[in-house]
A and B are shown apart, each in its own frame.
Chain A
Amino acid sequence: MRTFIAVFGNNIHRLRPYVASLAVITLVTIGSIWAAVFVTGLQQTRAHVAYVTSDVASAPASSEQITITPVSTAPSRSQLMCQRYDASVTPQADGSLAVTTLRGDDFAQLVRMLVANPNAELPPSGTDRGTGVNVVGFLMMFLLNISLSCLIPFAEDREKGMLSRVAETPASLIAYLTANVMLCLLLMTPELVAIALMELAGIDLGFPLATFAGLMLVIGLLGTALSLLVHMLIRKSDDASMLGSAIVMLTSLFSGTFFSMDGTNKVVAAISNVLPQHALMDFATALQNGTAGAQIGSLVFVLVVTAAMAGAALVILRRTYLRLS
């Protein structure tokens, strides 16, 4: 216990030069919560359309499902690429509509229908994600990145050879490691406080605070285990943390944390199904739908992956760096 307190306090002290950058990361993470709430509210509108006409008054009015902007010249291809508009609609002399879009014929048909009748009844769109699931998804990549940076003191110890000295002392290695892992959880408290404040202010985040705390704990442990493993596999700490954040970015995007991509591409779906972030998203969706019991396997899968990475890291640690007799 004394080792734990000493190392923990010392680590906090050692993070002081990084306060500015940690503050920036924390602010970005908190911003992502807000972005998730915002994006969930947006999913109603189906299309943004540029209506090419010289007579503004002749353009049909926008509705909840479609935004219609009258323009005098057709939007350029780069504007369609940037999704400034999803489609450009030009009324023809014979009363039909010429639709230019990058999104295929089905979408063009939808636009034609909506421009003709902005309040048409449509089948509901496929997204089943509520605010809570989106918040968890948006937070995922940032929280994993934070837990990567919390091992800075540990990586320094290892690089400078302090680690083998610690191992020689009577101090408990487990207490030493726990202190480093706890630092990661400490770095996540600002986000948790932000969520608590937002819920107190009456913003609907989808899940109660305790659920967020639990999910963040799981994400934090996953990130720390990955970070430990990467640092054990790569000697240079800069290279290790860069590789770690690359892994986090790629796997998080692949898991569809920012937007669900189930069923868009078979190869993508196959890869994303074996990623722990995807399992966590499944679990969060189940939590939202009240079927968490049936999806408990996803949570167990995440914990098993975490334990496996941590276990592998510990084995390498003992073999390579400690040289215990």
Chain B
Amino acid sequence: METIAIQARCVTETRWAGIRRFGTIFRMDIENDFRNPVLVGYNTVLAVLLILIMGSLVGGLFADQSDAFAYYTITFCVFGMLMTCTTAANSFMERDIRRPNLRIIHSPAGAFPIHFSKTLASATFGYICHVGLLLVVCPLLGMSLGESPLLFVALMAPVELASAALGTFFCCVFRCEETTNMLLSTVVELMSVLGGTFFSLDGMGDIIAGLSAASPVRWLDDAFFRLAFDGDAALVMPVFLGAVAVAALFVAGSCLLFKTEDYL
């Protein structure tokens, strides 16, 4: 009886120690992301500039100025969330981070916190940046996120996580940050162009509109558009569950493919 109790206590203690170790790594990873001026700039300043530029280019041409800003605020927010995968690749396999990662492998923390903490940290980093972006841009351009801004913001979280998990997974597949970044950013950009992030393709005939509707970026845009402009939450649940499923799938894939010896 006593041995079982001791064993149970040991298990709980190791679990707590594991969570504490994970917390330490996680905190370092997040700090690392925020210390990188290029990453922060890409996720905040560049996004604001893109919204302002595209909004003023298109404003008056295809829509009122305020509608153009509203459209691009949402599409570039979604674009930024999908680009979180490159943040994850960056913070996972960047040259300067490989050596510290190598030390974690040989510590009692084990291999799992290395990739999962990078995924979680990148998702959190992206989430903070993009929510901050909305907090600045929405009052500035006088746009609203619909009747339920909280739901809008809540829906962003699983998307960020799925995107970050995707980046980490492809790092595990290619074992190279540059290849992952180049490939993923090109694919995301292509999907975004098709999905109407930079300019809407819906008015270009049935074939192009069909192609556009096939882009996953478009599905995400649609969910956020409907939430913000129509007050229609029908797509929230599918997007939420889909993003969680994708995130779980890629995290599991990373666990499977991440070989510590690749770092050596």
Contact = CB atoms under 8 A, between A and B. Distances in A.
A278 to B, nearest CB: 13
A86 interface: yes
Contacts of A22: 182
A103 B37 CA distance: 39
A244 to B, nearest CB: 11
A172 B230 CA distance: 65
A256 to B, nearest CB: 7
A239 B95 CA distance: 12
Nearest to B190: A28
Interface string B161-193: 000000000000000111100110011011000
A82 B203 CA distance: 8
B61 interface: yes
A256 B229 CA distance: 28
B230 A246 contact: no
Interface in A246-279: 246, 249-250, 253-254, 256, 258-259, 261, 264-265, 267-268
Contact of A253 (B53, B62, B179, B200): B53
Interface stretch (A73-81, A90-98, A219-227): A73-81
B53 A242 contact: no
B49 interface: yes
A104 B64 contact: yes
Contact of B63 (A42, A81, A253): A81
A18 B179 contact: yes
A298 interface: no
Which applies to chain A's interface (DSSP): helix, strand, loop or mixed? helix
A300 interface: no
Interface centre among A22, A83, A86 (most CB of B within 10 A): A83
Given A103-B63, A261-B61, A268-B57, A76 B229 contact: yes
Contacts of A242: 38, 42
Contact of B94 (A21, A238, A249, A259): A238
A265 B56 contact: yes
A151 to B, nearest CB: 13
A246 B90 contact: no
Question: B interface, how many residues as a size bin?
Answer: 35 or more
A265 B225 contact: no
A102 B64 contact: yes
B102 to A, nearest CB: 19
A291 to B, nearest CB: 26
B11 interface: no
A230 to B, nearest CB: 11
B198 interface: yes
B62 A103 contact: yes
B90 A238 contact: yes
B200 A83 contact: yes
Contacts of B46: 246, 250
A43 B37 CA distance: 42
Nearest to A247: B46
B158 interface: no
A48 B208 CA distance: 14
Interface in A59-87: 76-78, 81-86
A250 B204 contact: no
B52 to A, nearest CB: 10
B183 A265 contact: no
Given A103-B64, A250-B50, A81 B229 contact: yes
6 contacts: A20-B183, A39-B204, A77-B229, A238-B94, A264-B57, A267-B56
Task: Name the 8 nearest CB pairs between A and B, nearest first.
Answer: A21-B182, A78-B225, A83-B200, A78-B229, A239-B38, A84-B202, A77-B229, A102-B63
Interface of A: 17-18, 20-22, 24-25, 28, 38-39, 42, 45, 48, 76-78, 81-86, 102-104, 149, 152, 238-239, 242-243, 246, 249-250, 253-254, 256, 258-259, 261, 264-265, 267-268
